[in-house]
Amino acid sequence: MRKILTYILLTLTTICGYAQNVTFNALGPGLVEVGERFTLTYSISAQPSGFEAPALDNFYVVAGPSTSTSTNVQIVNGNMTRSYTVTYTYVLQANSEGKFTIPPAKATVDKKTYTSNAVVVEVIKQSKQQHGGGGASGGGSQAGGSAAQQEQASTDDLFVAIELSKRTAYIGEPIEAYLKVYSRLDISGFEDVKFPNFNGFWSQELSSPQNITFQRTQVNGRIYNMATIRSYLLYPQQAGKAELEPFELGVIYTRPRSSNRPRSIFDEFFGGGMEQRRTRLVSRPVTINVEQLPGNAPASFSGAVGSYKMTATADKNALTANEAVTIKVKISGTGNFKLIGTPKVQFPQSFEVFDPKISENAPKSVNASGSKTYEYTAIPRAAGSYTVAPIEFAYFDLTKRAYVTLRSEPFELNVAADSSARNVVVSGYSKEDVKFIGSDIRFIKTGAAALRPMHSYIVQSGMYRFAYLLALVLFVVLAFIYSKRREQMANTGLMRTRKANKAAQRRLKQASSLLASRQAERFYEEINHAMMGYAADKFGIARAELTLDNVREQLQARGIVPADVDKFGEVVNACEYARFSPTSEHSQMDGLYADAYELITRMEQQLKTK
């Protein structure tokens, strides 16, 4: 009986909650072709007493509305959450070209009328099947089997591309680069990805989504499902025509089986009418024209390109000697903040100046605003009135195509004497001179000197000779200890190298066990940790700064051959990408393990010979 009452109470509470916070949404595609069928759905989070569909004059109603409901009630730790949804689904067909707005629908809940959002659908001309051309150069099949399995997808149906925000730029001018895949097929997974190295550019990774999402878009009059695999900000470093390396991607897709293969009447029932295939896509060459900056750059120009503003403030104008003053310079606007140099601040000679503290809010796109702040701290060591010269910051303005120099106002600082200081305060000295004031003068003594003859008893005594010999022995012993200490320090460095290699080998051994049990996700994670952990231990890279770009810089600086540096990036990228690949097949696991093992072994040998 108690269970029945609880159920009734729960049901009544749920029904009462349906009318609260009612949401009513419409969803449909934004882009379709003439003759294409698509679904239009209306979802409302309550049971309506009435539903009024909008006029669908510009489309042919193939089916609908079909109605479905869903209810979900959860009780966790005494807290109840509930959801109730009623969905109305239409199947429509586009009849003519144009951009059409489907008006909102109306629904009544508890005598109150709710209105959905409108849906805008653009209908384009029906595309024709094309052959040849396309947006990619296909590679050979990665899987063996019959001739039907080795057939490649048309480059008009599946291709990858590197898309840029601009094709012409000055040195240092930021460019957005997007690595995209376009498909009219059903993609089930990606593998064996190779990202460009962007030689001749300073690159900053903007996004690398863990979950790849597709959206419909139009290319040359055809509709594709498009997804962005990764995006970058590129900063050209040298003038001339720069050709980007191609973007390569292995794709696993499904399509109907070839007509050359005998078919069974059971194929349609068990999905035998579809088969999985592989292809390797390579993007077309992309060239960027990089222009040289004009040669009349001001002395305060340090590489800034874009549009900027500058503010400079001091935290105080009156202070005492030995008290710190901070001047804050903030550069804001749009441009290449990663490559901006540090503005110069000319403090008086009697000021002790420290290295500036730099904080940065880098923009995430070409047109996004960012800022960079420099905090200069200095300590006056002598009283007086001082002037800090105006701070200058020059940049190349892309709109004006000319250099622009920004100047702050001068800073007037009044420094009072420090009453607690014991040192003599003298103006006009540098900070090195001020440090020795009061301790660099030794007065002449006027009293009788305590001198002894040169052949005194102290010099000729055996105790003196013994002390001299003892000092010599101590010097030899200390020299020996210091030599041993240096050997121990060298051995400590060798132990760190061995530790890095052994740690990597332990992870590879664990990866081998995961490979045998085909635990793909943990396998890729262990291989990635083995590679990046080896680099972190070997080169002393902090975990907060452990990025693939930093590792590449260290490998190049230590003399690792370029082929192994590129291979290191390929293995790490393959591991990162395979971990979130939507496919359950991981045929490259064996090859990836062998590549990682051989690569670490080769790098270890190269580092030992340096």
What's CA 581's distance to the chain center, in Å?
A: 19
Here the tokens at position 434 are 């001020």
The reply to whether 287 and 162 lie within a common domain is: yes
**pLDDT band for position 327 (cuts 50, 70, 90):** very high
Diameter of the chain measured on Cα atoms? 125
| Residue 131 belongs to some domain of the structure | no
Q: What's the sign of the alpha-carbon dihedral 130, 135, 136, 141?
A: negative
* pLDDT tens, position by position, 497-546: 567 777 778 888 888 887 787 787 788 888 888 888 888 877 777 776 77
> What is the per-residue pLDDT across 405-438, written as a single tens digit (0 to 9) for each?
999 999 999 999 877 655 444 444 444 554 554 4
Q: Are 157 and 197 part of one and the same domain?
A: yes
Span 483-500, pLDDT tens digits: 877 776 655 555 555 677
Decide: 24 and 112 in contact? Cβ < 8 Å.
no
Q: What is the pLDDT of residues 90-118, one digit of tens each?
A: 888 887 778 888 888 888 888 888 888 88
Q: Is residue 474 part of a domain?
A: no
- 134-148, 183-197, 422-436, 579-593 — most confident range: 183-197
Q: Name the strand (E) or helix (H) holding 64.
A: strand 59-76
Q: Say how many residues make up the chain.
A: 610
The per-residue pLDDT for range 278-312, each reduced to its tens digit, is 888 898 889 999 999 998 889 899 889 999 999 99
Q: Are residues 285 and 221 in the same domain?
A: yes
Q: Do residue 91 and residue 151 come from a single domain?
A: no
**Containing structural domain, residue 585:** 485-609
- Cα-flanking dihedrals φ and ψ of residue 75, to 5°? -125, 115
Query: Any idea of the CA torsion for 482, 487, 488, 493, to the nearest 10 degrees?
Result: 130
- Which residue would you say has higher pLDDT here, 276 or 137? 276
Is there a single domain that holds both residue 144 and residue 274? yes
**Is 457 a domain residue?**
no
Q: What is the CATH number of the domain that holds 330?
A: 2.60.40
Is residue 330 domain-shared with residue 221, that is, in the same domain? Answer: no
Q: Indicate if 161 and 269 belong to the same structural domain.
A: yes
4 pLDDT tier (thresholds 50, 70, 90): low
**Total domains present in the chain:** 4
What is residue 115's predicted lDDT score, i.e. its pLDDT? 84
211, pLDDT greater than 70: yes
Q: Flag whether 471 is in a domain.
A: no
Among residues 327, 304, 332, the alpha carbon closest in space to that of 317 is found at: 327
What's 337's DSSP letter? G
| Residue 262: pLDDT band with limits 50, 70, 90 | low
**Are residues 140 and 245 located together in one domain of the fold?**
yes
Alpha helices in 215-257 (DSSP H): none
Instruction: Report whether pLDDT(143) > 50.
Output: no
What is the structure's pLDDT at 451? Answer: 65
Q: What is the mean pLDDT of residues 595-602?
A: 84
Identify whether residues 260 and 154 lie together within a single domain: yes
Q: Where among 91, 124, 157 does a domain terminate?
A: 124
Domain holding 32: CATH number? 2.60.40.10
Look at residue 463 and tell me if it is in a domain.
no
Q: Give the mean model confidence (pLDDT) for residues 368-393.
A: 91
Q: 37-84, pLDDT tens digit by residue?
A: 778 888 888 888 888 888 887 787 877 788 888 777 666 666 767 777
pLDDT in tens, 545-578: 778 888 888 888 878 888 888 888 888 888 877 7
Examine residue 449 and state whether it is found in any structural domain, yes or no.
no
Q: Do strands 301-314 and 351-353 pair parallel, antiparallel, or not at all (unpaired)?
A: unpaired
Q: How confident is the model at residue 331 (pLDDT cuts 50, 70, 90)?
A: very high
Domain assignment present for 447: no
Of 291, 317, 340, which closes a domain? Answer: 291
What is the per-residue DSSP string for 91-134? EEEE-S-EEEEEPPPEEEETTEEEE---EEEEEEPPP----S--
Rounded mean pLDDT of 143-171? 68
Share of the chain above pLDDT 70, in %: 77
The per-residue pLDDT for 376 is 93
Three-state secondary structure call for residue 345: coil
pLDDT band at 132 (very low <50, low <70, confident <90, very high): very low
**Same domain? 279 vs 353:** no
Q: For residues 273 and 313, which has the higher predicted lDDT (pLDDT)? A: 313
Whether the per-residue pLDDT at 134 is higher than 60: the answer is: no
Q: Of 97, 124, 151, which one is at a domain's C-terminal end?
A: 124
Q: Is residue 451 part of a domain?
A: no
Q: Are residues 11 and 120 in the same domain?
A: yes
Residue 513 belongs to domain with CATH number: 1.20.120
Q: What is the pLDDT of residue 77?
A: 67
Same domain, 154 and 287: yes
